[in-house]
Amino acid sequence: MSSVKKAFLLFLLFVVLLPSVLKDQLSVFAESDPSGQNVKNVILMIPDGFSSAHAANYRIFKEGEFVLDSILVGMMKTHSKNSWVTDSAAAGTAMATGVKTRNGFIGIDEDGNSLKTILEAAKEEGKGTGLVGTKSITDATPAAFATHVHTRQNEGEIARQLMNKVDVLLGGGERNFLPASSGGVQEQRNLIKEAESSGYTFVQTKSELAEVKPNVEKLLGLFADNMMAAEIDRHRTEEPSLQEMTETALALLRRNNNGFFLMVEGSKIDRAGHAHDPAWVMHDIAAFESAVITALEFAEKDGETLVVVAGDHDTGGMSVGGYDEYRAEPEMLRKVEATAQFIAQCFNSERTNISEVMKQYTHLDVTKSEINELYRADIEKVPYLIAQIVSRSAYIDWVTYEHTGVDVPIYAYGPRSSLFQGVLDNTDLPKRIAKAMKINF
């Protein structure tokens, strides 16, 4: 038989056998995640502003495997209805409702119609509900899961709508729950008092959160006037960690016999990206990882809990390596002991202590030109210059001070986790969560 005939016969054999091979491969995925498995609880975790570059830098920073590495299942597109680059409001709305909307809109479509969220659908099924974050709990991402407003700036109205719809609310933003006045006219009710009168237990500090009894029905924890502290600065406050808030939320919500839906946001990863502060980024990812470990341990023990992790968008366009060299040294960021914002506040009014302060908090010997640049800069630019110096030392560069439109990783663990494999749109997320939970959405 000629070599040409042999090649042709081999090709025919390949064509005939390929479908069965693919079928066998797909059956392996199905067997590892049977469609009949019950999903009673869902923990959706959102590292705000997080991309694969964050994951890579964090792995080097940690000098070990990222806990999320082992449960990577796909990637997610993030664009909004009116832009290839989304804001957090439109991204959160898509991830909560399954519908694209315009940047700035919360829980409504582009025509202003209210959209049912996955949290509201879970509530209708009698499940417990929770929102946890490290910015204000009225910020865009948590707001998108339970409220409906035409602008994300209307945080007083967002706070009002959260009441009695969400069983556990933990984060910052106390000011949005308190009366505000303008020209002597009160513009907002005291929502904290209203919450307490309707059955919420209210806490304000880490120690108060630790004392919450497991039989508490509803919990409102507001630990900062606006945003909570960056993880690297948190030890200077009385605020709980994201892990501690997650543990408390799970301890309370697990008591619901119908199950629960909990959204946990690592909110300050995004703020660190906007600030181009790589040490802040790494430490807030570490805080998020600790919360993820808590969720995964709960899911492993429970057996009926699905954990899904996906960023809402990328912030900053952070690189792995840069500055015209084939080098990346994010591990040096472990030496940095504060955010650039905090370090800038430690400079005296004459800025004569720049070298000493930078050495104390970054362990870097700044150059004369860097000192001169910090000395001459306008006060509002100083934190950005400090962050730039730290970034350069780690060979991390940045593309923008805003968001980018790159795809972000999706991670999933537990029953029905195979639903999240592949390249998905952010609108697919709540639809597949609803399918896993077998709830009407």
Which pLDDT score, from 0 to 100, does residue 228 have? Answer: 98
Average pLDDT over residues 63-80: 96
CA distance 251 to 239: 19
362, pLDDT greater than 60 = yes
pLDDT-derived band at 391 (thresholds 50, 70, 90) equals: very high
Question: For the chain, how big is the Rg over CA atoms in Å?
Answer: 24
283 belongs to an annotated ligand binding site: no
Is 150 labeled as ligand-binding?
no
DSSP code per residue over 5-71: HHHHHHHHHHHHHHHHHHHHHHHHHHHHS-TT----EEEEEEETT--HHHHHHHHHHHTS--GGGGG
pLDDT at 94 over 80: yes
Q: Which of 20, 35, 51, 88 is catalytic?
A: 88
Annotated binding residue 270:
yes
Give the sign of the dihedral formed by CA 368, CA 370, CA 374, CA 376: positive
Of 266, 219, 260, 214, the residue nearest 241 (C-alpha): 266
Distance from C-alpha of 249 to C-alpha of 243, rounded to nearest angstrom: 10
Work out the percent of the chain whose per-residue pLDDT is above 70: 90
Please, are residues 200 and 152 in contact by the beta-carbon 8 Å criterion? no
Mean pLDDT, the chain, whole residue set:
92
Q: Is 111 annotated as a binding residue?
A: no
pLDDT in tens, 28-55: 333 335 455 789 999 999 999 999 999 9
Task: Give the phi and the psi of residue 416 in degrees, each rounded to 5.
Answer: 70, 15
User: 380 a known binding residue?
Assistant: no
The side-by-side arrangement of strands in the sheet containing 128-136 is: 200-203, 218-222, 168-172, 128-136, 260-266, 41-47, 305-310, 408-413, 72-77, 422-425
pLDDT for the residue numbered 7: 46
User: Over pLDDT 90: what percentage of the chain?
Assistant: 86
Own/partner pairs, 163-166, CB within 8 angstroms, 24+ separation: 163/191, 163/194, 163/195, 163/198, 163/200, 164/198, 164/218, 165/119, 165/120, 165/123, 165/129, 166/119, 166/129, 166/130, 166/131
Residue 264 β-bridge partners? 45, 132
pLDDT at 31: 36
Start-end ranges of CATH 3.40.720.10 in the chain? 41-318+401-437
pLDDT digits (tens, 9 = 90+) for 108-163: 999 999 999 999 999 999 999 999 999 999 999 999 999 999 999 999 999 999 98
- The predicted pLDDT at position 33 comes to 54
- Binding residue per annotation — 265? yes
- Of 231, 227, 229, whose CA–CA distance to 279 is shortest? 231
Question: Is 277 annotated as ligand-binding?
Answer: no
Q: Above 80 in pLDDT, residue 72?
A: yes
Helix pair angle (52-62, 278-302), 10° resolution? 90
- Reply yes or no on whether the pLDDT at 27 is more than 70: no
CA distances from 299 to 184, 281, 295, 413, 439 (A): 51, 27, 6, 8, 19
pLDDT band at 164; cut points 50, 70, 90:
confident
Residue 266: what pLDDT?
Answer: 98
Question: Is 418 a residue whose pLDDT tops 60?
Answer: yes
Quote the pLDDT of residue 187. 56
Would the pLDDT of 356 be above 60? yes
The arithmetic mean of pLDDT across residues 322-329, rounded, is 90
Determine the Cα–Cα distance for residues 234 and 239; give it in Å rounded to an integer.
7
Q: Name which CATH class applies to 41-318+401-437.
A: alpha beta
88 in active site: yes
State yes or no: 284 annotated in a binding site: no
Residue 188 pLDDT exceeds 80: no
Q: How confident is the model at residue 324 (pLDDT cuts 50, 70, 90)?
A: confident
